[in-house]
Amino acid sequence: MTVPGMTSNADRPAMHATTILTVRRNGAVAIGGDGQVSLGETVVKGDARKVRRLAGDKVICGFAGATADAFTLLERLDAKLEQYPGQLTRASVELAKDWRTDRYLRRLEAMIIVADKDVTLTLSGAGDVIEPELGVAAIGSGGDFARAAARALLAETDLGAADIVKKAMAIAASICVYTNESLTLETIDP
């Protein structure tokens, strides 16, 4: 039911919130996220921090989607990492099972990329736990642009993981109107 003078959720502008990219090369892994949050055609924040460290700084993650939903998932993932220390894949699978089967969690609208020294995974509410090809994964509004740029840079340059993330995110920001050049970057070095 719509209250007079109010709009329904379907009538509100869509929130476009991010681009997250991860690259793994020569034993190092880097995750970068832009800072732009847009509501419809309006930029409402330019310096949001969508990349975080978990598990005593041994795991890095980036999130796209509804911020409160993503924080809920990060808290759950952190708890799973405490339950299964040093086992990112196991903790991620357990989170994905909960996310898919729990009535509350099923409604959360977010995606997460997580990485530790050994593995990179993309997690979704559909129960997906995906290890990317070529060590490159991306999510969010400009994810396809960032992933394509990173794969090209991996194939054509000797740049390290962090430098590839920086350059690929800059390329994505030049193409995607929902991505800016305010970059948060976290790395795990070999």
- Residue 189 in any domain: the answer is no
The partner residues of 130 in beta bridges, in order of sequence, read: 122
Active-site residue flag, 42: no
Could you tell me which residues come within 8 angstroms of residue 180 by beta carbon, excluding any fewer than 6 positions away?
Answer: 34, 35, 36, 43, 46, 173
pLDDT of residue 30: 98
CB 173 within 8 A of CB 165: no
- Residue 75 in any domain: the answer is yes
Residues of the chain whose pLDDT is less than 70? 1-17, 102-109
- Residue 56 in any domain: the answer is yes
- Residue 124 in any domain: the answer is yes
**One-letter identity of residue 22:** T
pTM for the structure as a whole: 0.88
- Residue 146 in any domain: the answer is yes
User: Which entry of 2, 7, 18, 19 is annotated as an active-site residue?
Assistant: 18
pLDDT of residue 148: 97
pLDDT of residue 16: 53
pLDDT of residue 71: 82
CA dist 77 and 110 (Å) reads 13
- Residue 1 in any domain: the answer is no
Q: What is the CATH number of the domain that holds 172?
A: 3.60.20.10
Concatenating the DSSP letter of every residue in 82-106 gives HHSTT-HHHHHHHHHHHHHH-HHHH
Rama region for 182: left / alpha / beta (φ>0; ψ in -120 to 50; rest):
beta
- Residue 152 in any domain: the answer is yes
Structural domains counted in the chain: 1
Domain housing 40:
16-178
pLDDT in tens, 129-146: 999 989 999 999 999 999
pLDDT of residue 11: 52
Concatenating the DSSP letter of every residue in 102-153 gives -HHHHT--EEEEEE-SS-EEEE-TTS-EEPPGGGEEEEETTHHHHHHHHHHH
- Residue 133 in any domain: the answer is yes
Average predicted confidence (pLDDT) for the chain: 87
